[in-house]
């Protein structure tokens, strides 16, 4: 029998309270977002701050709106999701500025909307995004992550662990088109990530640089973490959830084993207070947190609990709930002072201005977890699998 997270939560009062808080808070945020010429990412002094239309997080706002629509049935959230989806077409037109994050940018709202409404424009957008991602595949076996932000710094051979979360777009595209190329590229990339990113103890590199001509390993810089060889917690959470999803989409057993190894490491590093630090190998001071890592990991752990043998499931399930509750208690701002919720997200360890800020995707993953605990059947990373 499959472990069912919805049946396991004993503290239904907590779930009811956060569902009410999400709705109360976010319907005000929609009012604040409606008149904007950009898509919400973060805030300053209680207001959304402008971002470029090609910014990698721009799919999370409409995806959050769809989560809320499915939780409440209120058309206000659908309207805002559709508005943001149309606004994002500007990013498709400026396609040379897109990078590997097109999965984040389209699958979890356009792909979701297509599944619900069979809207042709949403199908076109999501398929376009999948073709963009496939075009970044280097035949040496990896997907190129970032572009060259300036002409002198070449990133043709850069792969990053975050990309594991973009692979569901390729799996989805293979099912939609009947063409296995997308899935085969995704699996080649996932296999490469197992080999070059995931360490024996379940911790992961953030970045690996390859020679783009030969595919030879060159180096692994510290990226958004503390230093090379450290364990940036959000990278660990991308790997945890990403390998779980690759297993779900392909059934390849090594992906499940890898997801478990990363999950066990993640749990071992935050089980003292369930408040993940920005990097599990950072110095004790400053005490830098990353709520986004915790909320992403919680979603991954909830999904993992449904996929592992039943006797292994409770440990993953209770770790997910412990993280969600601890972070909500410690860092959720349910007041009317700001349109976003979680306050202790960190963009990168060495980005001093990006420490303990709000981030739309942290809130997105919290809402996803709350939805799944409430019985939401659609996994936005696999919208065509209505279990």
Binding site for ligand GLY (CB under 6 A): 162, 224, 234
Q: What does the alpha-carbon distance between residue 276 and residue 233 come to, in Å, rounded to a whole number?
A: 7
Minimum distance, C-beta of residue 82 to ligand GLY, in the bound complex (Å) = 26
- Cis amide linkage into residue 286, ω under 30° from 0: yes
For residues 110 and 224, which CB has a smaller minimum distance to ligand GLY in the complex? Answer: 224
- For the chain, the first-to-last Cα distance in angstroms comes to 15
CB of 53 to ligand GLY, least distance (A): 17
Neighbour count for residue 100 (Cβ, 10 Å): 26
Specify the residue, 85 or 162, whose C-beta has the smaller distance to ligand GLY. Answer: 162
Q: Retrieve residue 323's tokens.
A: 């993280």
Q: How far apart are CA 176 and CA 172, in angstroms?
A: 6
Rounded Cα distance, 301 and 290, in Å:
17
| Separation CA 78–CA 67 (nearest Å) | 9
In the complex, least distance from residue 17 CB atom to ligand GLY, rounded to whole angstroms = 28
Chain position carrying tokens 């071992």:
268
Cβ at position 164, least distance to ligand GLY in Å: 11
101 is catalytic: yes
Indicate the DSSP class of residue 47.
E
Q: Is 387 exposed, middle or buried (0-12, 13-18, 19+ CB in 10 A)?
A: exposed
How many angstroms separate the CA atoms of 201 and 258, rounded?
A: 11
DSSP sequence for 290-328: -HHHHHHHHHHHHHHHHHS-GGGHHHHHHHHHHHHHHHH
| Smaller CB separation from ligand GLY, 234 or 344 | 234
Of the residues 23, 52, 89, 162, which is catalytic? Answer: 162
Sheet holding 158-160, edge to edge: 158-160, 207-210, 217-219
Catalytic residue among 52, 89, 101, 351: 101
Smallest distance, ligand GLY to C-beta of residue 4, A: 30
Q: Which is nearer to ligand GLY, 80 or 368 (CB)?
A: 368
Q: Which is nearer to ligand GLY, 321 or 340 (CB)?
A: 340
Which one, 224 or 305, has the nearer CB to ligand GLY? 224
State the Cα–Cα distance between residues 312 and 154, nearest whole angstrom.
44
Going by C-alpha positions, the residue among 245, 353, 343 that lies closest to residue 294 is 343
- Decide: helix, strand or coil at residue 176: helix
Task: Name the minimum Å distance from CB 129 to ligand GLY.
Answer: 17
| Residue numbers annotated as active site | 101, 162
């Amino acid at each position: 029998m499959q472990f069912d997270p919805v049946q396991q939560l004993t503290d239904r009062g907590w779930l009811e309270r956060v569902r009410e808080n999400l709705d109360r808070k976010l319907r005000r945020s929609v009012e604040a977002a409606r008149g904007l010429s950009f898509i919400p990412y973060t805030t300053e002094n209680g207001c959304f701050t402008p971002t470029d239309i090609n910014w990698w997080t721009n799919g999370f706002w409409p995806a959050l709106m769809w989560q809320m629509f499915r939780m409440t049935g209120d058309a206000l959230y659908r309207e805002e999701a559709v508005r943001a989806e149309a606004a994002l077409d500007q990013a498709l037109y400026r396609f040379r500025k897109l990078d590997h994050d097109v999965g984040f940018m389209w699958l979890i709202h356009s792909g979701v909307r297509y599944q619900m409404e069979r809207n042709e424009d949403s199908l076109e957008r999501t398929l376009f995004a999948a073709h963009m991602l496939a075009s970044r595949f280097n035949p040496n076996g990896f997907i190129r992550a970032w572009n060259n932000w300036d002409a002198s710094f070449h990133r043709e051979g850069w792969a990053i662990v975050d990309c594991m979360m973009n692979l569901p777009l390729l799996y989805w595209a293979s099912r939609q088109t009947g063409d296995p190329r997308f899935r085969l590229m995704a699996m080649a990339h996932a296999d490469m990530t197992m080999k070059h990113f995931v360490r024996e103890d379940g911790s992961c590199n953030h970045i690996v640089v390859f020679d783009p001509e030969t595919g030879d390993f060159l180096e692994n810089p510290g990226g958004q973490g503390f230093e090379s060889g450290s364990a940036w917690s959000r990278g660990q959470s991308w790997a945890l959830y990403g390998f779980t999803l690759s297993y779900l989409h392909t059934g390849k057993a090594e992906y499940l084993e890898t997801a478990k190894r990363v999950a066990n490491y993640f749990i071992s590093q935050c089980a003292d207070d369930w408040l993940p630090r920005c990097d599990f190998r950072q110095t004790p001071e400053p005490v830098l947190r990353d709520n986004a890592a915790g909320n992403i990991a919680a979603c991954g752990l909830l999904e993992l609990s449904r996929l592992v043998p039943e006797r292994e499931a409770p440990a993953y399930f209770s770790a997910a709930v412990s993280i969600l509750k601890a972070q909500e208690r410690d860092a959720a701002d349910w007041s009317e002072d700001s349109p976003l919720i979680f306050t202790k997200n960190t963009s990168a360890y060495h980005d001093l201005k990006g420490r303990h800020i709000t981030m739309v995707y942290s809130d997105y993953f919290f809402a996803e977890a709350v939805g799944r605990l409430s019985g939401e059947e659609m996994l936005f990373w696999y919208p065509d699998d209505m279990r």
